[in-house]
Chain A
């Protein structure tokens, strides 16, 4: 943790109520530029709901999301993405019938300057923009080692590559903050190891701050400098992996719901 650097994201008293259920209760978090922070907790603890509030999918019942000095909790998801927050989903949500390359290129649309009419006519100017976008997408695929499947349908990829594509697609929006929701879910130990290295690499190469929800303790303890623990919508611990591992409250939360 580097306290000297800027606060990139600040969650202040975030609360989400669904009917009678308080899914997230008074959640607070400060993320600094360059952080790699883990968010863990038993199933149903409210982790994904926190992501949904940051990315604009849910409007919080109470509280604020301050990103880069700006309140964003009432903005539309696409606007928030434009400001520099990108995410992946716990249940993969790729554009299944589009090619891997097209999946990436969708992420460029939000910042496209070309007009609808120019695109419809196919003006030389537009076509040259299109070529540039295609090249940019292709080099991104090279960087994440997916260029060999660039023209395949996203849905035809094996599971591990789909996860990687989802991360690459999020990176294509040029985010400052990347939210990863259980990226290792369903992976075998080998794939998980590969993913851990991958996350560390993109953090450097793309210069992103990462907030990571993960079930697999090995992943979180292995790559995060700081870990937050949630249970029943409440934050119950915050600290280094070592501190978290020995925290009695955390042990109890995990043992309490042990299957």
Chain B
């Protein structure tokens, strides 16, 4: 009885949070500079990708290095579907875009379909990589997904009639806005969280904790690893699609291994396996990346003039990661998760103190 009431209460609170988020988006669109809105968009996209990545690496304990490849697939899929026909002719001037993509273009109203298609293409790639490698124990997945990212990079560079090669695709309409990114970040967190709290999530965590015991308790290892990997690929694909329609361009260098490295930093910083951690650190990371742009600019400190060093941000992030691994091995949040129950007990404690 009691439990039933708490589920209803949690649903209402989640609904209220969604309304708050919508109000926040409306306010941000109206009052914040377009620069800040862009950073917020990036933050939300990182949330989608990081929470998805955390599902396979942190929850299921399978070390994937694939998100950049999946994001690239999602990104190119959305770009090719959404690019207007006139742009298609202009952009693909070396080789024309191959059939059937040269003959149609999705109208703006079908943006959501394109995003879904981007996710599905990435999920299919995850399935193809996952079936042979997730059977094996150990580091095969890491090696295979790393190789996959490189293969996608080579395909993006060389299959010119599909991807336009190294020039990339420019002029993608900027459909992504804060409604889409914040909405999908919210949906991602909600769905992944309820999955992780379900029997499937327990099976995934059991695999992380001890594969032999999980199998001996009746858990189908391959099936549950695949479910996590494919969903994680899907979310990376959607994130990639959002990203290219935010910056309105895609090229092979957009989704290199550096992207996976960023996401790895986010989920490790947040505490492998913590959705709360991945969400919060994804947002922090997006802002930190902007702030740290400063360290790449030329600087004058007293008598010394330092030239700008591109890539300095990654040095800072890597140092941060190393420091964290030494002093805070479990990440900022460990495996901690926020729940409505906790929020309520905090609020109550707060009120008692005030009275």
Contacts and interface: CB of A to CB of B under 8 A. Distances in A.
Interface string B212-256: 111111111100000100010000000000000000000000000
Contact of A98 (B3, B209, B227): B209
B327 interface: no
Given A78-B220, A109-B203, 14 more contacts: A57-B212, A78-B218, A87-B216, A93-B212, A95-B214, A97-B205, A97-B209, A97-B335, A106-B219, A107-B218, A119-B198, A119-B201, A120-B194, A120-B198
Interface of B: 3-4, 7, 191-192, 194-195, 198-203, 205-206, 209-210, 212-221, 227, 231, 335
Nearest to A92: B213
B216 A108 contact: no
Nearest to B198: A119
A55 B213 CA distance: 11
Interface of A: 55, 57, 76-78, 81-82, 86-87, 89, 93-98, 102, 105-112, 114, 116, 119-122, 126-127, 129-131, 133, 169-170, 172-173
Contact of A81 (B3, B191, B198, B217): B217
Contacts of B202: 98, 102, 105-106, 109
B203 A126 contact: no
Interface centre among A81, A93, A126 (most CB of B within 10 A): A93
22 contacts: A57-B215, A81-B216, A94-B210, A95-B205, A95-B206, A95-B210, A95-B213, A98-B206, A102-B202, A102-B205, A106-B214, A107-B218, A110-B217, A114-B199, A116-B195, A119-B194, A120-B191, A121-B191, A122-B194, A169-B217, A170-B217, A172-B217
A219 to B, nearest CB: 22
B217 A119 contact: no
Nearest to A99: B202
Contacts of A130: 198-199
Nearest to B195: A120
A255 to B, nearest CB: 34
A34 B311 CA distance: 69
Contacts of A102: 202, 205
Nearest to A118: B198
Contact of B216 (A86, A97, A98): A86
Given A109-B200, A126-B198, A133-B199, A76 B216 contact: no
Contacts of B210: 93-96
